[in-house]
Amino acid sequence: MTVAIEYDMEAIARIVGGRLKPSDKAAQPKYLSVDSRKIVAPESTLFWAIRTEQRDGSLFMPELYSRGVRNFITEDEKISRSLKGVNVILVKNSLLALHKLATYHRKRFKKIKVIGVTGSNGKTIVKDWLFALLSPYYDVVRSPRSFNSQIGVPLSILQIRSHHVIGIFEAGISRPGEMKALERMIQPRIGIFTNIGTAHDEGFRNRDEKIREKLLLFSRSETLVYPEEENEITENIREADIAHKVKVHSWGTHKSHYAIKSITTAGTHTEISIATGRKKDIIKIPFTDKGSVQNAINCYGAIKELGISNREVIKGFEKLQALSMRLELQYGINGCVIINDSYSNDLQSLEIALDFLLRQQPEKHTVILSDMLQSGRSSDSLYKEIAGLMERKGVRKFVGVGKDISASKEFFTGIPGRYFFRDTESMLSQLARLQFENEVILIKGARKFHFEDISRRLEKQSHETIFSINLTNLAHNVRVYKTFLKPDTRLMAMVKAFAYGAGSSEVSSLLQFIKADYLTVAYADEGVALREAGISLPVMVMNVSVHYFDALVKYRLEPEIFSPALLLAFTSYLKERKIKNFPVHIKIDTGMHRLGFDVSRIDELLSLLKGNHFIRVQSVFSHLSASDNPEYDSFTMQQYQLFRKVVRRVQSVVRYPFLRHIANTSAISRFAALRMDMVRLGIGLYGIDSNPNVASRLMPVCRLTTTISQIKNVKKGEVVGYGRNRITRDKVIATVGIGYADGYRRVLGNGVGGMFVRGRLAPTVGNICMDMTMIDISGIEGVREGDEVEIFGENLPISRVALWAHTIPYEILTGISQRVKRVYYEE
């Protein structure tokens, strides 16, 4: 993971107590990374060389130096001396130094309400469900994925910014002494203890020691929420005397703080009635398994402890979704359905996953299970219980992967179809023998076994280019810009050009749902499509001619009027049809010289407006030409002052209120005075802003991916692609399914551009073809045909691709061909 940082090397050295060896040749970092495989912007990344029992990150420094990294923090002075022109901070303990930075960073934000989550199962689901429930209404920061370790927690904490209102962080431990460090960084105000299970039992003398270690997370909390039915947790809370320091609010029977009155399942939904004193809530979730019910109640307790009474938050439980890598259903090969739980592996989560499997009511069901690590039990005892569980659940086909489970195969004789392999690679090599067809397959394994490789082989490969649009992030970005606005300032969203390539009706539906005030399209036919898609928001049409007048009136589209001739023509059209007070928007040219009434002809405009009852001026606006560039701020203010003068003259004639707007995306954050009555938000919707302080708060919305069609080993001196581009060394070349007909520009060929493959940047090779592109994957391990390739998105910012192409992100987005499949999703 790479995180943005707000500290220069001198500040970091001071905070962590390190010794800085600076260089005038190295730029200050903007990002921090602990993973050498995932550094995309080496020149502006600080590599934090973590030394653990398994690996020393300092050993990767020379390779990163060759890739352009010039900022390091390390324990190894010898390696650092070999690197010239770098900023290096030397520390005694790299992990402790990272903890110090995170602790310092956390202390800066005293007002944020932090929820700390721990337990054996459900931590990530509870965290992500809370995010889904709260983020539509509050600015929330959370741990990415399952970043709950001694390394993951500090990286998560470093994401906190001043605008965040709520933080949700999970904490995981595997041995005594670890939780104190996590507590110092997280400092939760509210705690959630999800449950206690067998995971990591072997790291502790007994279960009680593990529970007491986990309870340390809440040593300075105000409130702790946990399930009363977890008797071991209850007993340890009592013995540790935590109730004298922390308000302990259990959920469960009528004696609990959150009393569960009833749990009713109907079809695919569950209804949970919860009472707190005399108050009662009913939450509905689209799940029926016990694990989801427990997770939902834990989420409810946290929301109540935050003091949130927003009914819309409670209604949000109905929209919760299964999380990726957490019991996610996907279509597989040969008519199979895959349940992917290749994330964790212990008895409790196994039973929950089996319940989920059987709820699919398959005619044939299969379980693929790895060794169960860190259970703290003998193999005979553990696998005898697992085999009995499989038989009780009626599993008819079982695949065991790992040395321990294979050595215990005698316990599984009650299952008709059973297969055992010593490792994942052995299983994959004999996949055909397993004859998976028309069955539901549960894949559950410890991370060590890389069961994602099994998932990849069994899942149905589409081999198609996909443009993914994250509507959740788009809504987040709108909220970011709204923080700059007064409550009565309206927001107009630009959805012209197919919503910057993202899809007009889909994006507009979301904007309508989150209460945008206006939409803008370029042409009337775009507005017609929105109306036919059920969009009822007011829509302004920018480029209007007489040919579109009928459509404007029929579909209630509001034209931009930019010239005397157009105003005369539209007034005449309305007069002939006896239509009065039709809404229009008057555009003034204050210096961009594209469309709009010239300031020198304002008298003519005023004469046409005076006494005109056929139109009603909804707004008067202008367009800024360089609001993103501080160099031209004086010109921007000149445009604004000129606009104000024109507006005053229009007001003297119209004599009724209308909206005034001139601020575009860049101006919203940079010029408070220019926000006026309404602002126009365009590219900022998609997470792009020229202001770095705003850009750091935005979330990426669009992701363009494709797949590898074929991989070839090409020898030095051979040619690749059209134009016979000769390569100068042996290379491994992957052909991917995107070309200039899809919107991947030809200028990005011959190494100018690159794509993100398995955590590395792979440069293009040869010319871009109409439907395909070749990339160099030499040195990138584990790449296979069918693998996903990111063109731009979370790992490779679109701004970087635009820079390679000598253009702007607008052009990249709007240039994506309509033949590219759009996929819309909400987290």
> Which of the given ranges, 136-150, 237-251, 271-285, has the highest pLDDT on average?
271-285
Taking the C-alpha atoms of residue 471 and residue 700, their distance in angstroms, rounded to an integer, is 10
Q: Which residue has the higher pLDDT, 205 or 49?
A: 49
pTM score:
0.51
Which pLDDT score, from 0 to 100, does residue 344 have? Answer: 53
Identify the band that residue 294 occupies on the pLDDT scale cut at 50, 70 and 90.
very high
Identify the band that residue 326 occupies on the pLDDT scale cut at 50, 70 and 90.
very low
Structure tokens at 330: 């996907």
Residue 740 catalytic? no
Q: Which residue has the higher pLDDT, 507 or 271?
A: 271
Q: Answer yes or no: is pLDDT of 448 > 60.
A: yes
Q: Answer yes or no: is pLDDT of 697 > 50.
A: yes
For the stretch 611-663, pLDDT in tens is: 999 999 999 999 999 999 999 999 999 999 999 999 999 999 998 999 999 99
Which of 499-508, 581-590, 703-712, 754-763 shows the lowest mean pLDDT across its residues? 499-508
Taking the C-alpha atoms of residue 506 and residue 304, their distance in angstroms, rounded to an integer, is 33
Residue 825 catalytic? no
Identify the band that residue 324 occupies on the pLDDT scale cut at 50, 70 and 90.
very low
Identify the band that residue 361 occupies on the pLDDT scale cut at 50, 70 and 90.
very low
Percentage of the chain surpassing pLDDT 90? Answer: 60
Range 33-46 average pLDDT: 82
The catalytically annotated residue of 30, 123, 496, 731 is 496
Taking the C-alpha atoms of residue 221 and residue 110, their distance in angstroms, rounded to an integer, is 13
Taking the C-alpha atoms of residue 354 and residue 357, their distance in angstroms, rounded to an integer, is 5
Q: Which of 174, 117, 167 is nearest to 146 (CA)?
A: 117
- Where are the alpha helices (H) located in 306-397, listed in sequence order? 311-315, 347-359, 379-393
Radius of gyration for the chain, computed over Cα atoms and rounded to the nearest angstrom: 30
Q: Answer yes or no: is pLDDT of 564 > 80.
A: yes
Q: Answer yes or no: is pLDDT of 49 > 90.
A: yes
For the stretch 155-211, pLDDT in tens is: 999 999 988 899 999 999 988 999 999 999 999 999 999 988 876 677 888 989 999
Question: 742: number of CA atoms within 13 Å, CB side?
Answer: 22
Question: 755: number of CA atoms within 13 Å, CB side?
Answer: 32
Say if CB 62 and CB 83 are below 8 A apart: yes
**What average pLDDT does the chain have?**
89
Q: Answer yes or no: is pLDDT of 704 > 50.
A: yes
Range 327-348 average pLDDT: 68
Q: Answer yes or no: is pLDDT of 325 > 60.
A: no
Identify the band that residue 514 occupies on the pLDDT scale cut at 50, 70 and 90.
confident
Cβ contacts of 766 within 8 Å, gap of 6 or more: 719, 720, 721, 722, 723, 725, 749, 750, 774
Which of 185-194, 276-285, 353-362, 515-524 shows the lowest mean pLDDT across its residues? 353-362
Helix (H) or strand (E) holding 442: strand 440-444
**Strand arrangement of the beta sheet that strand 45-48 belongs to:** 2-4, 31-33, 45-48, 71-74, 87-90, 19-21
Helix axes 347-359, 379-393, angle to 10 degrees: 20
Q: Answer yes or no: is pLDDT of 582 > 50.
A: yes
Which pLDDT score, from 0 to 100, does residue 139 have? Answer: 86
Percentage of the chain surpassing pLDDT 70? Answer: 93
Say if CB 636 and CB 666 are below 8 A apart: no
Taking the C-alpha atoms of residue 302 and residue 377, their distance in angstroms, rounded to an integer, is 34
Q: Answer yes or no: is pLDDT of 266 > 90.
A: no
Q: Which of 705, 714, 711 is nearest to 784 (CA)?
A: 711
Q: Which residue has the higher pLDDT, 568 or 510?
A: 568
What's the helix, strand, coil split of the chain in %, to 5?
Answer: 40, 25, 40
Q: Answer yes or no: is pLDDT of 698 > 60.
A: yes
Which pLDDT score, from 0 to 100, does residue 596 have? Answer: 94
Taking the C-alpha atoms of residue 745 and residue 749, their distance in angstroms, rounded to an integer, is 8
The catalytically annotated residue of 107, 722, 821, 825 is 722
CA angle 403, 409, 410 (to 5 degrees): 140
Say if CB 289 and CB 352 are below 8 A apart: yes
Report strand pairing: 615-622 vs 659-661. parallel
